[in-house]
Structures are given as structure tokens and as C-alpha cells.
Copies of this chain bind each other. A is one copy, B any other.
Amino acid sequence: MHILIIGAAGMVGRKLTERLAADGAVGGTAITHFTLADVVTPAKPAGFAGTADCVTVDLTVPGAATELLSGKPDLIYHLAAIVSGEAEADFEKGYSVNLDGTRHLLEGIRTTQPGTGWKPRLIFASSIAVFGGDMPDVITDTYFLTPETSYGTQKAICELLLSDYSRRGFIDGISLRLPTVCVRPGKPNRAASGFFSGIIREPLAGQTAILPVSEDVRHWMGSPRATVQFLLHAATLDLSLLKNRRSLTMPGLAVTVGEQIAALERVAGPQVTALIKREPDPVIAHIVSGWARGFDPSRAESLGFVAEREFDEIIRIHIEDELGGKLPA
């Protein structure tokens, strides 16, 4: 099996690659070949015995997608995107990368296909940013998409394209609306959502974290491990079960900031939560107030997608996967 991962240098892409390389197979079929692509060259997966081509690609360049697809991969993960803040700040770049890039990929598949019998599975990383504005506390699987950002608009459009290209038989596609990843490993960043991870990650590393919103703010989160598991499960799921409704909101945990902090105190003690400093930021509070607070992901759950059931578990996963199982001294 040949797997192409676009966006392989990103956080989720790296974790997915590592996990696939460690498993060595998908659904019982051995992985013989990786093509790992990103705007910066991805790293080769350690200990993988097969072929791993690590390539730099810009899907907005005409012809780049077709070249990337020349090996006719059986399974394609499309994780590449510019993030919400950048797509809002740079209108043209957002549409170019997040919409045209995806369209070039889809057209690259469609136009390469005739006479080959090749019909790859395409797993697309969508986002809960397809929802926005006035929303119920719990969004069901038949609720309409009302993005309030250009990023969310681009993801929603790509979902529609993926469904149509699947219905027409060019791909076997699925769009997974991933929850906000928490605890996101690495350094603090300036994303408006950064504090959801920061208030856990920094204190567990013995550092101060800033909390810019009130503790009653509720958000939809999943661990990096659950995110990778969603992507793996989508690789072997019988997609005919989706009946042409190929976009799925992934399970997650609807948790308030206060509940996050209480869980951190249970897991790591009050000396750790004491490192969280309240510094209200009306700009961030306003941005966050436009985000979805919770979902009823019945459909994804009925198809076997599983997430964490409590936030304590999300913290323990971070400690296991990123901190070598150790709490700060």
C-alpha cells in the first residue's frame, strides 16, 4: 500500500506518519511506500523499512498536484491548510491554498484517472470552523453550515467538493471535522485558541500560562492521540455506509475552561494550576464567543469513531505522549 500524506510536516501529519510507520500496515495491508509532502520537506519516519519519498510541494502551483499523484497512491490524507488567522488576514492566500490547492488535488486525481482503474481513498481534515455565529449549545449532525471565517468557508466548500467527486466516482472521500486539538504539544503560538492548550501545557512544564477568557467558556476538544485515531479509523471504514453524506463531525469533549482547570488540579495538584494567570483579553473573548461550544456526534460514533470521555484523560495522554509520563517535580 502506498500512502500520500499532504501536510505531513505539521503536528498532526507528523504524529499520523509516526503511528502509521509504527503500525506498518493499514487494515492488514502492509504499507510499502510513503509519499510525505508539505511546503517544507517532511522528515522520513524513523524505522520504516519501505520507501519514503519526502517532497516539498505547493499545491497552488499548476501541475504540482498531478506530479505529486504520479505514483497513484492508494490512500491520500489531505491535512494541508493555512490556519484561520492567516486565511482571515490574507484573503487571496486563504482561497489559493485552502480552496484552489484542494481543487487542484481533486482535479489531479480526476484527470489522471481515465483508463487506470485508480480510485484513491481521500481523507480530508475539515474543521468545526464550518459552524459559526448564533448556534445551539449542542449542534446535531443535520445542522447547517454557517462559517464566520474565510477559513471555515474554505473548509465547507472543500467538504462539498469531496462529496461531489465521491458521488461521481472519482474518489472515495471522507471529510472529518476535527475538534480543537488539546493538549497541542510544542511552543505557545498566537492562535486565538492557543490558551485552551496553553493553560494545561505550560503549567505542566513548570511555566506560567495566560488565561484570556472567563472560566465558563465552553469548547469542543480532542487529544492529538484521538485525532490520529480518527484519521486511522477513516482509512478502513466502509465509506458506503456514509450514503453520500461524507462529512462527519468527530467526537470530542465539550468542556469549560473551569472544568479544564479542575481536571488539571486533580491530575497534577494545585501548585500546577497556580501557574495559570487570569488576564482577560476582550479581543480573544470576542473571537472565541463565535465558536461552536458542543456537538452531538452520534453519526460519527455510530460509525466507530471514539474520543476521550473526560478531560482528565486528555491531560494524562499529554503527560504520557509528550512528557515521558512524568509530572513536574
A residues apposed to B, CB below 8 Å: 91, 110, 132-134, 141-148, 150, 153, 156-157, 160-161, 163-164, 167-168, 243-245
Contacts and interface: CB of A to CB of B under 8 A. Distances in A.
A86 to B, nearest CB: 15
- Copies of chain A in the complex: 2
B146 A144 contact: no
B91 A148 contact: no
A35 to B, nearest CB: 27
A98 to B, nearest CB: 12
Contact of A133 (B91, B133, B147, B243): B243
Given A133-B244, A153-B161, A153-B164, 19 more contacts: A91-B110, A91-B168, A133-B245, A134-B243, A142-B143, A142-B144, A143-B143, A143-B144, A144-B144, A144-B145, A145-B145, A147-B160, A147-B163, A147-B164, A148-B244, A150-B164, A150-B168, A153-B160, A157-B160
Given A156-B160, A157-B160, A160-B157, A148 B133 contact: no
14 contacts: A132-B244, A133-B244, A133-B245, A134-B243, A143-B143, A144-B144, A145-B145, A147-B160, A147-B163, A147-B164, A153-B161, A153-B163, A157-B157, A157-B160
Interface centre among A144, A150, A168 (most CB of B within 10 A): A144
A300 to B, nearest CB: 14
A150 B132 CA distance: 25
Contact of A167 (B144, B148, B156): B148
Contacts of A245: 133, 146
A160 B157 CA distance: 7
* A-B pairs with lowest CB-CB distance, top 3: A153-B164, A144-B144, A157-B157
